């Protein structure tokens, strides 16, 4: 993905725009964040004083942009929607249920409910350093398929973005790994606890991707306690570029 090259271009060229990017069909998105001239983040804001303004209407507006000005999303990494009270972020392939709230601006504690969600998202996710880290290391693509009414199978690509808890947990885990593995380190990593359905597999993928770069391409061993989870994790990791192996026998590790 082109965004993966951002760190070798110019780090500081991030600009916020409300009126310099007009396209055909007389469409003008509320806010676009440019990185090195590329429109990577599209933000749709609704007026909190308008009783008809909802988070869904903001999502529907993004969907309208996708249909009428698809070129705007050629380099898009993240879409943000807000009704003035709620604020959520997702990708161009996500439905509204997969747009997630960014609940912490510092990765230490969740923001107070008295703080507007949009403020937390701007201070957290849209912080320049965090935004570039997300684009480079916390977006993955997966293939999925479904059958239409005629019984024909369609294969399509899903773009997935890390949630706030995955982002902060992975970076904290990597920081601890680097401390433990350096000369004089205690060789002890740690534990990241997830609830069911909160994205453990993707957290492992994100962590592995960063660890491979930070630790000079180490061998990563993933251990599971269930066969179905083993297959699931293998499929998730299989989209990576590096070669992976699925081991069924313990004596493999005695070689």
**Residue-level pLDDT at 240:** 59
Where, residue-wise, is CATH 3.90.1570.50 in the chain? Answer: 2-146
| Backbone φ and ψ of 143, nearest 5° | -90, 140
- Cα–Cα nearest to 84, from 112, 121, 116: 116
DSSP type of residue 19: S
Distances from the Cα of 95 to the Cαs of 36, 56, 92, 131, in angstroms? 28, 10, 8, 21
**Residue-level pLDDT at 23:** 54
- Find the Cα–Cα–Cα–Cα dihedral 12, 13, 16, 22, rounded to 10°: -170
pLDDT, one tens digit per residue, over 206-232 is 999 999 889 988 888 888 877 777 777
Q: Are 168 and 107 in contact (CB under 8 A)?
A: yes
Q: What value does the mean pLDDT take over residues 136-160? A: 84
**Residue-level pLDDT at 112:** 93
DSSP H or E stretch at residue 165: helix 164-181
Q: What value does the mean pLDDT take over residues 137-149? A: 84
Q: pLDDT confidence of 5, banded at 50, 70, 90?
A: very low
**CATH number at 2-146:** 3.90.1570.50
Query: pLDDT over 70 for what percent of the chain?
Result: 83
Instruction: Check residues 13 and 50 and name the one with the higher pLDDT.
Output: 50
Q: What value does the mean pLDDT take over residues 100-114? A: 94
**Residue-level pLDDT at 224:** 80
N- to C-terminal Cα separation, the chain: 37
């Amino acid at each position: 993905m082109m965004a993966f090259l951002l760190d070798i271009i110019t780090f500081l060229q991030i600009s916020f725009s409300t009126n310099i990017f007009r396209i055909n069909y007389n469409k003008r998105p509320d806010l676009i964040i440019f990185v090195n001239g590329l429109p990577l983040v599209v933000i749709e804001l609704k007026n909190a004083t308008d009783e008809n303004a909802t988070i869904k209407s903001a999502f529907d507006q993004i969907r309208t942009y996708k249909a009428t000005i698809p070129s705007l999303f050629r380099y898009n990494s993240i879409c943000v929607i807000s009704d003035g009270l709620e604020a959520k972020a997702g990708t161009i392939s996500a439905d509204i249920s997969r747009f997630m709230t960014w609940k912490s601006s510092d990765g230490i504690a969740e923001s107070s409910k008295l703080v507007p969600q949009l403020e937390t998202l701007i201070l957290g996710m849209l912080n320049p350093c965090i935004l570039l880290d997300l684009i480079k290391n916390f977006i993955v693509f997966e293939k999925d398929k479904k059958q239409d009414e005629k019984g024909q199978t369609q294969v399509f690509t899903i773009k997935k973005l890390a949630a706030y808890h995955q982002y902060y947990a992975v970076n904290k885990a990597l920081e601890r790994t680097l401390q433990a593995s350096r000369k004089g380190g205690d060789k002890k990593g740690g534990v990241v606890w997830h609830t069911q359905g909160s994205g453990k597999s993707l957290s492992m993928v994100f962590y592995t991707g960063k660890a491979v770069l930070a630790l000079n391409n180490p061998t990563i061993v993933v251990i599971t306690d269930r066969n179905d989870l083993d297959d699931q994790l293998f499929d998730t990791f299989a989209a990576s570029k590096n070669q992976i192996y699925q081991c069924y026998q313990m004596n493999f590790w005695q070689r």
